[in-house]
Amino acid sequence: MGRTGEAMERLEEIMRTLRAEGGCPWDRAQDIRTLRPYLVEETYEVLDEMDRVGEGGPWRALREELGDLLFQIVFHAQLARELSEFGLADVATAISDKIVSRHPHVFEGRTVGGAEEVLQNWARIKAEEGSVLDGVPTAAPALLRAERLTEKASRIGFDWPDLAGVRSKLAEELAELDGALESKDARAVEHELGDVLFSLSNLARFTATPAEDALRAANARFTRRFHAVEEGLRARGVPFGTATLAEMDTLWQEAKAAEGGVPPPAQSLRSVVAHLELEAEEPARAHGFWTRVAPALGWTVEVDGGEWSVETPGLSFAYARGARSSATLTVDAPGRIPEVAARIREAGGTVLSEMPLVFHDPVGTCVRMP
Q: How confident is the model over 265-292, as a mean pLDDT?
A: 69
**H/E element, 15:** helix 3-19
pLDDT digits (tens, 9 = 90+) for 323-358: 766 677 877 666 567 778 888 888 888 888 877 788
Residue 108 confidence (pLDDT): 77
pLDDT digits (tens, 9 = 90+) for 63-118: 999 999 999 999 999 999 999 999 999 999 999 998 888 788 778 776 666 666 66
Among residues 188, 339, 191, 361, the alpha carbon closest in space to that of 287 is found at: 361
Query: Looking at the chain, which runs of residues are DSSP E strands?
Result: 275-280, 300-304, 307-312, 315-321, 328-330, 350-354, 357-360, 366-369
Residue 118 confidence (pLDDT): 65
Distance CA 262, CA 249 (A): 20
Residue 113 confidence (pLDDT): 65
Q: 3-state DSSP: the chain helix, strand, coil percent, rounded to 5?
A: 60, 10, 30
Bridge partners, 312 (sequence order): 315
pTM attached to this predicted model: 0.51
pLDDT digits (tens, 9 = 90+) for 149-165: 888 888 778 888 899 99
Amino acid at 329: L
CA distances from 365 to 126, 193, 306, 324 (A): 59, 50, 21, 8
Angle between helices 211-236 and 36-54 (to 10 degrees): 80
Yes or no: say if 142 and 196 are a contact pair by the CB < 8 Å rule: no
Highest mean pLDDT among 132-146, 199-213, 300-314: 199-213
Residue 59 confidence (pLDDT): 87
